[in-house]
Amino acid sequence: MEQQTESAILGMWLFLAQEIMFFGGLFAAYLVYRFKYPEAWAAGSEELNITLGAFNTVVLLVSSLTMAMSVHAAQTGKQKRLISFLFLTLALGLTFLVVKYFEYKAKWEHHLVPGSNFVIHSKMFPDVDQAHSQLFFVLYFFMTGMHALHMVIGAGLLIWLIVLAYKNYFTPQRFMKVELVGFYWHFVDIVWVFLFPLLYLVHRHV
């Protein structure tokens, strides 16, 4: 049993290492263009809703806490607390996704989705290069879209854990599934903690 546990943890760390390299590559590409086209990046960031971004950051930070409480409840055999905290974590994750949907919807309505209809009207940089600003939004949608996809997967995993919890699957000796999902959830939250300042706060530093 101990060997299986160690193998599961090692497998999760290897998976997370691959994810770190994936998002690390995206962050590196973002930063290269950020310094190459500072005005376009600032103009693009100006179009993002800092209030919604900050709200979603708080939502995910709280969800990390409720996920940690879920793991603790599983370790101590407190089934009702486990189910409650898993539901709270799921609700917070879904809240994040709903807010992100409305952000995307606003970008579509203001023609800020990359494509033939893309146009940006910057108050700070009225003569900003449209192509360079469009590149900002290509990276914005890809990076936040990949993060949102990971959130959807995380929500699915939480639903799976809730089903198992209702079947009294977890005990103080059998809680590894909750812990592994916890590792994944915390990783996804950390990615957003980096995405928020990189994307939403650029124009404050130009």
- Taking only the tens place, the pLDDT of each residue in 2-46 is 456 667 778 888 988 999 999 999 999 999 999 999 999 999 999
Encoding tokens for residue 4?
A: 């299986």
The pTM of this model reads 0.91
* Neighbouring C-beta atoms of residue 182, cutoff 10 Å: 23
| Rounded Cα gap, residues 8 and 191, in angstroms | 22
pLDDT band for position 81 (50/70/90)? very high
Helix, strand or coil, per DSSP, at residue 42: helix
| Rounded Cα gap, residues 28 and 34, in angstroms | 10
Encoding tokens for residue 27?
A: 């962050």
- Taking only the tens place, the pLDDT of each residue in 174-184 is 999 999 999 99
pLDDT band for position 203 (50/70/90)? low
Q: Which amino acid is at 130?
A: Q
Alpha-carbon separation of residue 197 from 4, 167, 204 (angstroms) = 39, 41, 10
| Rounded Cα gap, residues 23 and 28, in angstroms | 9
The predicted pLDDT at position 159 comes to 98
